[in-house]
Structure 1
């Protein structure tokens, strides 16, 4: 599983040209491709909760001003309005960015924290990765199929109070780093997202409970010290498929993760939290 990667320095021109190319490519796929994208909304929610999850809105992160956290919540509230109640019918694909659209100031988005090449900067719409992380994690606990997901290339903050395996999130960059989910079942699924004063909360809902439940876990977690001096974190993500009697009927490979660590491993006594 070990994969040797190291930081890559790209010029601003290279970054801009690459972004233009992949953004255009995505638009062509959305509007001229053969996928059927979900677009039906309902404010009447399907009766059964398949999986629900919540994550705190405010976290103490080293060297991150709290005003970025407050702005993140503003951005989340706007984006959720574009997702809450979406129904993904059989044969349809959920596209995170096609539904949300491009975050900009005209729509009310404000500056938030954006992870960028192993660090962070401010950017309009920053903080929406918390939303894509949650949807990805919830989907791993359903029969829905994740057809496009991008892992975080950098492990920016040390673990603290982490409740999910390392690498169980999905990074998002408009519009070419998308999160896409295909409904290959014979039943419709519906996404319900909302905010409380303290939490981002999400649910996948359906007409009835699926036959199986899922337990997501990691294997072969390790940290390697590379020849060029840095550290890389690795793991495999699997999930156990459980029947109604809680018997394991399958053990499915999901993905592998490799991330450049931007802090010294095995730190003790740290208080900052991970963003995943």
Structure 2
């Protein structure tokens, strides 16, 4: 099996646990041992789109990590927690509860290229140790600013003490940090009470399945019906038709000459993906080959 199973990750489950659930489903369905990986970590307190790569699609998991994501998230104003979500202790409070119009008013300041400090409770390594391990040990952690891009940021709903937003963000963006900084810009404090990923790269919630449905499909030996093809993770890459001889050359890692294109392409022999290739002028070189 070579392709993608898109999981709608439930609350409280880690990404590696979701991978384990897919591995169990594959075993239950009688599928031969298959390499499995995920295309982008989701915190246990986050839900939503988690692409799980199978077989040769695992070669594209790194590319999925680099893709844009879209999140829905709710900021609760008036309190800030140590973890910037509902798991931590309250470390700051404020009586200021901004109105919807005030929230809308600051959003342009957080749209486009911005710099943000990641949460102390994150998996970033500092001197070889995870930031969250240092934070839990009570050590002072200095989180360096990082550059990210917020492509779009819109308000979805608001009530007396919270606002729900939708953010289209670049890789490396921390929604918890974004929520913290929006609250601070409003002269108050806040933390994330709900975080749901609705899109990861080309994959959306419409394609995502629950772990319960995954288990049912495994028992019915119908997992292949849930799997998207390997090429589903490359919908934004133009196809490059190649002949059987050219496909053989690419599989051997050779450079093709004589097909003037530019940029990243997906070499296809008929309906079979051969390789992800990079074209510069007349030369086409393999970036990632597929054993299909």
TM class by smaller structure: under 0.3
Q: Which has the higher helix share?
A: 2
Q: Which has the higher strand share?
A: 2
Compute the TM-score of the two structures, normalised by the length of structure 1: 0.23
Q: Which has the larger radius of gyration?
A: 2
Compute the TM-score of the two structures, normalised by the length of structure 2: 0.22
